[in-house]
Amino acid sequence: MESATLRINNISGHLTTSGVRGGGQCPFSQKSTAPLACPEKAWSVINTSPHAKPNPIRVLVTGAAGQIAYSLVFMIASGQMFGPYQPVVLHLLDIPKMQEVLNGVVMELNDGAFPLLAGTVATTDVKTAFMGIQVCLMVGAFPRGPGMQRSDLLKMNANIFKEQGAALAKYAARGVKVLVVGNPANTNAYIACLAAKADLPSTNFSALTRLDQNRAVSMIAERVGVPVAKVKNVSIWGNHSLTQVPDVTNAVIQDFPEKGLTTPVLTAVNDNKWLEESFIPQVQNRGAAVIAARKLSSAASAANAIVGHMRDWVLGTKDGETVSMAVVSDGSYNIPKGLVFSFPVQCRAGEWSIVQGLKITPFIQLKLDATTKELQSEIDALPK
68 binds ligand NAD (CB under 6 A): yes
63 binds ligand NAD (CB under 6 A): yes
Nearest to ligand NAD of 299, 349 (CB atom):
299
CB of 272 to ligand NAD, least distance (A): 27
Asked if residue 383 has a cis previous peptide bond (ω within 30° of 0), the answer is no
| 240 in active site | yes
Please give the residues from 1 up to 20 whose contact with ligand NAD meets the rule CB under 6 A: none
Please give the residues from 172 up to 211 whose contact with ligand NAD meets the rule CB under 6 A: 181-183, 185, 208, 211
52 binds ligand NAD (CB under 6 A): no
246 binds ligand NAD (CB under 6 A): no
94 binds ligand NAD (CB under 6 A): yes
Size of residue set near ligand NAD by CB under 6 A: 28
Contacts for 220-226 with beta carbons within 8 Å, 24 or more apart? 220/248, 220/251, 220/253, 220/265, 220/269, 220/279, 223/269, 223/274, 223/279, 224/253, 224/256, 224/265, 224/268, 224/269, 226/253, 226/255, 226/256
Nearest to ligand NAD of 240, 311 (CB atom):
240
Nearest to ligand NAD of 73, 211 (CB atom):
211
CA distances from 151 to 124, 161, 165, 377, 379 (A): 27, 15, 20, 10, 10
Stretch of 5-13, 41-49, 60-68, 191-199 contacting ligand NAD, by CB under 6 A: 60-68
Nearest to ligand NAD of 56, 287 (CB atom):
287
297 binds ligand NAD (CB under 6 A): yes
CB of 138 to ligand NAD, least distance (A): 8
Stretch of 16-24, 91-99, 215-223, 267-275 contacting ligand NAD, by CB under 6 A: 91-99
Spatial distance between the Cα atoms of 116 and 88, rounded to a whole number of angstroms: 6
DSSP string, 329-340: --SGGGPPTT-E
307 binds ligand NAD (CB under 6 A): no
CB of 64 to ligand NAD, least distance (A): 7
340: number of CA atoms within 13 Å, CB side?
Answer: 30
Stretch of 90-98, 270-278, 328-336, 347-355 contacting ligand NAD, by CB under 6 A: 90-98
CB of 291 to ligand NAD, least distance (A): 10
57 binds ligand NAD (CB under 6 A): no
Among 302, 325, 355, 358, binds ligand NAD (CB under 6 A): 302
DSSP string, 220-273: HHHHHT--GGGEE--EEEB-SSTT-EEE-TT-EEET-SSTT-EEEHHHHH--HH
> Backbone dihedral region of 239: left (phi > 0), alpha (psi from -120 to 50 degrees) or beta?
beta
CA distances from 29 to 38, 68, 193 (A): 20, 27, 20
Spatial distance between the Cα atoms of 106 and 122, rounded to a whole number of angstroms: 7
Spatial distance between the Cα atoms of 199 and 185, rounded to a whole number of angstroms: 21
CB of 69 to ligand NAD, least distance (A): 6
Q: With CA atoms as reference, report the closest residue to 110 among 8, 239, 217, 245.
A: 8
Spatial distance between the Cα atoms of 6 and 281, rounded to a whole number of angstroms: 45
The whole-angstrom distance between residue 7's C-alpha and the CA centroid of its chain comes to: 25
CB of 187 to ligand NAD, least distance (A): 11
Among 27, 54, 132, 140, binds ligand NAD (CB under 6 A): 140
Among 11, 37, 75, 95, binds ligand NAD (CB under 6 A): 95
CB of 326 to ligand NAD, least distance (A): 8
Total Cβ atoms within 10 A of residue 373:
13
Residue numbers annotated as active site: 240
Enumerate binding residues for ligand NAD (CB under 6 A): 62-63, 65-69, 93-95, 98, 139-143, 160, 181-183, 185, 208, 211, 240, 297-299, 302
